[in-house]
Chain A
């Protein structure tokens, strides 16, 4: 069992204590740390290489990419997606068992020709395309526990039967071509939330038998966060155990945890090291 941590330095508040907050983790023999960027080193010397434009265009329209560039927020999303892509390739090839990717921008509000809500590029979609084209992977699952509906990911995969997308959010329950929306009440207890998740895994993920699982993990639904639905910090750790168990059962443990929503620094400091610990064990 080996776990990869993909990290690039960010200017924002929530990850200010990283990588120092990984005390006790980096020294583990089965942990591999892939970091970027440093002033003294060229961009192309990192494991998180910028994703070429032609690869971005397999998912996003050229017009959208140009609109993202105009916002001035291109390099951050590019390296966030690059972390996910690098993690996917290493997990798929067996170099790593699982991985956690620190991102500065989310995925799931970025569609083929639109973006918003702090999401500019859809890293999960880019990496799935790369795994399909270059490695022959055939079935993928994206589990989205950010508190908000992933309209971008939904749009990208609504006609793609090779990708199972399960979104846990406040929208109404619906199902279309392996795209599943699981309705979460505006306020929910941990036990109810985890029960809905377990049911969804049983009903959709296990029969689908994905070859790799991407978990768009957001902690914005935690009490005191901007998307507060009543979840405790402990619920995220329980969910990690559930999804890791699921990955072990259906796809030999291939799991990539992608940090999505959530803004509190204290929550990041509490949750991220503990989630990595669960991935390692």
Chain B
């Protein structure tokens, strides 16, 4: 299932997309599933 607000990248052509509505599938580009980009969270005060 795709993840809302997350970014996906095509390893073949470099296309990057933002998921604005989550669904059952995984985005596909250049005939391959796009890779979920890993965030780098920063510390916060809470």
Contacts from A to B (Cβ < 8 Å):
7-15, 18-20, 22-23, 26-27, 33, 35, 37-41, 72-73, 75-76, 79, 104-106, 118-119, 263
Contact = CB atoms under 8 A, between A and B. Distances in A.
Nearest to A25: B20
Give the 8 A-B residue pairs with the shortest CB-CB distance, closest first: A19-B5, A104-B44, A118-B45, A12-B44, A9-B39, A9-B41, A26-B20, A12-B46
B13 interface: no
B42 A38 contact: no
A37 B21 contact: no
Nearest to B21: A27
A8 B39 CA distance: 9
B28 interface: no
A263 B46 CA distance: 6
A20 B19 CA distance: 10
B15 interface: no
Nearest to B41: A9
Given A26-B20, A33-B18, A73 B43 contact: yes
Given A40-B37, A40-B38, A104 B7 contact: no
Contact of A20 (B5, B18, B37, B40): B5
Nearest to B43: A76
